[in-house]
Amino acid sequence: MQDKYKRCSVSKSVIAGKGISIIMKRAAIFVFFEKEGIVGKYVEYLLSEIRQNVSDLFIVSNGRLIKEEKDKLYAFTDSIYERKNEGYDGGAYKEMICDIIGFSNLKNWDELLLVNDTFYGPFCPLSSIFERMESLSCDFWGLTLHGERKDEYVTIAEHIQSYFMVIRSKMLHSRCFFDFWLEMGNIRSFQEAVNNFEIKFTSFFAKHGFTYDVWLDTTRLENDYCRQAVNIPHYMAEELIIKEHFPVLKRKALTQSNPHFSNPLNVINYIEQHTNYDIGMIWDDILRRFSIEKLLHQMHLLYIVDESGKRDVKLQSIIIFQVNNYNSFKNNQSFIIKSSKISKICFLLENMDLMKKINEDLGNSYMFFNRKQWNKVKLWKWFSEKFNCIGYINLGHLRCQSYEMTKMVTDRIQYNLVKNQGYIYQIADIMFHNKFLGMLLPPQERFGFRGEYVWGEDAFWIKGECLRELCCVQSDTGWLPEQIRKLGYYSAIAQTADYAWKELAQFNQNRTKMIFQTPEAYLDEFWSKYNRRFIYGTGDIAEEVTKYLMLKGWNEYEGYIVSKRKLDNQEYYGKKVWQLNEISGENIGIILAVNYTHLKEILPLLNQRKEIHYFIIRGMELPV
């Protein structure tokens, strides 16, 4: 059966008038915001689709554009306007309609498209979307409908989601349409933009007798449930793209915390396999905008690797063991011997005396490289030209503070990077068939091993072509997965199915004691944001957090917070213990170092304090 995306046909929009077909005059206002002023490839593609379906195009940038980026936009229109980033999309539309276009000029068009840059697509010709909607009798329409919600927590009116809306002539030419923008008022926050523009827009015009419709009524998916009004384009992209053949993908569906509903990799792979859309435009955008740590966490960049992969002669792999001293070799000798039976291996050594000792122990001839004699770039480039897939393990950095921790790190690498021959074949296959994947890593370090081992640098598989590009840049600055991200590749975690179950069991058993479930860099970033810093809690978790901060040399925090203090002059680790009601001021950052039971009690109190920002130690910062 032919895919629905492929069935979309290209046709010009027309309106019927006295038996004569008339080419529709349609204008579009495209609102663009990018803090660095860069016009991404996906924006250019979207504008090319819009340009083919409108007679006039106005581009509004909520911020200054770099000259060469602005020149890209001139390929689509001369009507380009730059403004301050005030009022979000609603503010930009208001300024264009009221101050630039004017009420009298709205009559020059039969339709007006209001659209922004917050989505990828369309995955079919935009003309086919207009063509499909022409058969519907309504005064304005959009792509998706957000359902009504009324409960004890929030009230949300049913509304068309504002990232793509089309206004037809009856409503466009009415004084009511112009008055809406005049009366909208200034928008000072994201929530005001949602309430005063997006939500209000639909209900305002419905009350004035105008009718609306959508390309996909997402509320019908919720009809049988008492809890409704989920933002489906954000939280259920997999449902929309794969099952409903939805023509666009919201960026937030890939990059916001969304652990339950959608697998972003599944969504992107489906778009690649079933549409003509170049997914390189998606990766180009998100890899430029977000750190790889955030993408690993938010996009769930994880591959459960099949252990029964088959050899492809085109895919040549090798494992490089860096041996810093003889002890690091002896401690991992059984691991090395196992690896040598399932893959080609070589040794990167500190000196050639090590080569003699290793040869005596192994009784075989292997490839050896003296690390001090080889130019680093030249060496890695040599590997990248010989092999499609290069594994690297720094044996000297696997040693932690205890035997137990060292064993945990070594097992994690052994089980998830070099388990068996079929596993390695499958690793190479995954890298080969995912163009933008540059590096595969073992599961992330979650327990604070405090050894020399650095997750993301001391054990990994890297694609040959990615390594070649890295050598050409000749940069040693920054965390390795971040260097790779800047080259346009993402990193992901490789994991066996049995290890995934093992890790899940550990998580459930230790969830109240776990400290760093998410990358420690998130805590680092949070710590540097705020002038006044506190730790909430004085229990076991707070003790672990305190020790971590001491190791980092971060002693610049005012003290600890508890719900109820035992003594007026109470101290913890030499710092004052406060009650929450004693904390006041601005720019306050609090690390929540408490268990889940206490967390549920604390969050409602903190949410009432708009000046406080907090970081849940097992998760992400939650801004107020």
Whether the Cβ atoms of residue 232 and residue 221 lie closer than 8 Å to each other: yes
Query: What pLDDT is recorded for position 263?
Result: 85
Whether the Cβ atoms of residue 539 and residue 594 lie closer than 8 Å to each other: yes
Asked whether residue 504 falls in the same domain as residue 533, the answer is: no
Residue 298 covered by a domain: no
Report d(CA 501, CA 41) in Å as an integer. 40
Q: Consecutive 10-residue runs of the chain (624 residues): their mean pLDDT? A: 33 35 80 90 97 96 92 95 90 94 94 97 96 94 86 76 96 95 83 84 95 90 67 85 94 75 87 96 94 83 88 88 89 88 89 85 80 80 93 88 82 91 93 95 69 84 95 76 93 90 59 46 76 89 82 85 87 91 88 79 84 71 38
Whether the Cβ atoms of residue 156 and residue 195 lie closer than 8 Å to each other: no
CB proximity list for 45: less than 8 A, separation 6 or greater: 278, 281
Q: What are phi and psi of 390, to 5 degrees?
A: -120, 120
Q: What are phi and psi of 399, to 5 degrees?
A: -75, 125
For 420-430, the pLDDT digits (tens) are 999 999 999 99
Domain span holding position 562 = 520-622
This prediction has a pTM of 0.77
SS3 content of the chain, % helix, strand, coil (to 5): 40, 20, 35
Strands (E), 379-503: 389-394, 437-441, 459-463, 490-495
Sign of CA dihedral 12, 16, 20, 23: negative
For 118-152, the pLDDT digits (tens) are 999 999 999 999 999 998 999 999 999 988 877 65
Report d(CA 414, CA 19) in Å as an integer. 74
> Of 333, 554, 332, 557, whose CA–CA distance to 453 is shortest?
332
Half-sphere exposure of 563 (CA within 13 A, CB side): 13
Asked whether residue 535 falls in the same domain as residue 426, the answer is: no
CATH number for the domain harbouring residue 585 = 3.40.50.720
CATH number for the domain harbouring residue 356 = 3.90.550
Residue 227 covered by a domain: no
Q: Of the residues 480, 510, 540, which one is the last residue of a structural domain? A: 510
The residue type at 66: I
Asked whether residue 607 falls in the same domain as residue 459, the answer is: no
Query: What pLDDT is recorded for position 521?
Result: 63
Report d(CA 15, CA 378) in Å as an integer. 65
The residues facing 191 across adjacent strands are none
Asked whether residue 525 falls in the same domain as residue 478, the answer is: no
Query: What pLDDT is recorded for position 226?
Result: 58
Q: Of the residues 482, 510, 538, which one is the last residue of a structural domain? A: 510
Asked whether residue 529 falls in the same domain as residue 468, the answer is: no
Asked whether residue 327 falls in the same domain as residue 354, the answer is: yes
Asked whether residue 487 falls in the same domain as residue 373, the answer is: yes
Residue 245 covered by a domain: no
Report d(CA 294, CA 254) in Å as an integer. 11
Query: What pLDDT is recorded for position 4?
Result: 35
Report d(CA 335, CA 611) in Å as an integer. 53
3-state secondary structure of 297: helix
Asked whether residue 532 falls in the same domain as residue 555, the answer is: yes
> Of 196, 206, 217, whose CA–CA distance to 93 is shortest?
196
Report d(CA 13, CA 157) in Å as an integer. 31
Query: What pLDDT is recorded for position 228?
Result: 63
How many folded domains does the chain comprise? 3
Q: Of the residues 184, 218, 252, which one is the last residue of a structural domain? A: 218
